[in-house]
Structure 1
Amino acid sequence: MNRFEEKTIGRKSIYEGKIISLRVEDVELPDGKTAQRELVDHPGAVAIIAITDDEKILLVEQYRKALKRSLIEIPAGKIEKGENPDVTALRELEEETGYRAKQFSYLQSFATSPGFANEIIHLYIAKDLFKIEHPAKGDEDEFIHLMECTMAEADEMMADGRIFDAKTAFAILYAKKLLKN
């Protein structure tokens, strides 16, 4: 048992949505006092560092309603119920970029917002990319623009705020390290 563990003593479901659910838990703290935690359940997601033969990375631009702006991100998507993250990653790469990869491997997983959500993103790398003539269709409510950029261009986009989300910034830093080796 973790010495900082918070024991759940009560739970109330607030919302059950298509992607997330929200609950409030009453917890007993390590010092015996109680507190409430507002928690988001998320099925998890994948993200892909897709690197072209000339060492550019594939990025997608899309509007994010929660932030009321467009962001430039690495290809990514939600894991469907019962779906293996490896399958999700291959599907999302094809749907969002129109590419498949001859070299495709898992890198690592990380939490996005552990203070209130259990979302885990599984990060993959895709190399030896090839374009597909008839790629799988993406979500009908998803509008994206595919782009390629160098690492220097990605750094510039992080500096000026066009790349603003943590998964993409993390992935770009990871990719820079991989490309040096």
Structure 2
Amino acid sequence: MKKFEEKTIHTEEIYNGKIVQLQVDDVALPNGKSAKREIIKHAGAVAVIPITKDNKIVFVEQYRKPLEKSIIEIPAGKLEEGEKPEITAIRELEEETGYTAESLSFVTSFYTSPGFADELMYIYITDELEKLETPVKGDDDEFIEVLELSLEEAKKYVEEERIHDAKTNYAILYLHALGMK
């Protein structure tokens, strides 16, 4: 038995969309009582920390409806069924930024919101960017502006809450810890 394990008694599917599925589980708690757990199922996602040859970080700015505002983020996207994270990372980099990379290095992975979702995010880094001659068409419902910022500029945007999501804050802390200037 896993420490503090909650055994599922019953699962009710509430919603099955193209990005997430919502279910409500009735669970048996370790103390013998029961509870309900609202759970978001997600295929997983990737993000890329792209560094240009002149030591700038490539970001994208886009409107995030749940937040009702635009924020600046590192390029990221959802894993497609059966797709390896490295492939997703290159695809999202190309679609969102107009850059590609011959190789990526895996940095880490983490659960984005384990209290209610199973989304696992993979983070990659590359400093081998090449501008695509012909841009790759992105999603029809995605409107993006590409920005290239120094680490110091990115830190300022964190203070101003223009950069305000976990994956991008992680990327900035990671680059700072590496000693990027």
Tell me the SS of whatever aligns to 1:9. Answer: strand
1:64 is matched with which residue? 64
Q: How does 1:90-101 map to 2 (within 5 A)?
A: 90-101=90-101
2:78 is matched with which residue? 78
Task: Give the distance between the partners of 1:49 and 1:104, measured in 2 at CA.
Answer: 9
1:25 is matched with which residue? 25
1:146 is matched with which residue? 146
**1:35 Cα deviation from its structure 2 partner:** 0.4
**1:179 Cα deviation from its structure 2 partner:** 4.0
**1:86 Cα deviation from its structure 2 partner:** 0.9
Alignment gaps of 5+ in structure 1? none
Say if 1:102 and 1:127, in contact at 8 Å, map to a contact too.
Answer: no
Task: Give the distance between the partners of 1:97 and 1:31, measured in 2 at CA.
Answer: 50
Deviation per residue, 1:28-67 (Å, 9 max, x gap):
1111110000000011100000011222100000000011
**1:177 Cα deviation from its structure 2 partner:** 1.9
1:169 is matched with which residue? 169
Tell me the SS of whatever aligns to 1:2. Answer: coil
Say if 2:151 and 2:180, in contact at 8 Å, map to a contact too.
Answer: no
Q: How does 1:114-125 map to 2 (within 5 A)?
A: 114-125=114-125
Structure 1 runs (4+) greater than 6 angstroms displaced: none
**1:16 Cα deviation from its structure 2 partner:** 0.5
Q: How does 1:149-160 map to 2 (within 5 A)?
A: 149-160=149-160
- AA partner of residue 168 (structure 1): T
Give TM-score, length-normalised by structure 2: 0.96
Give TM-score, length-normalised by structure 1: 0.96
- AA partner of residue 32 (structure 2): G
Deviation per residue, 1:127-156 (Å, 9 max, x gap):
121101113211011000000001111110
Say if 2:46 and 2:78, in contact at 8 Å, map to a contact too.
Answer: yes
1:113 is matched with which residue? 113
Q: How does 1:10-21 map to 2 (within 5 A)?
A: 10-21=10-21
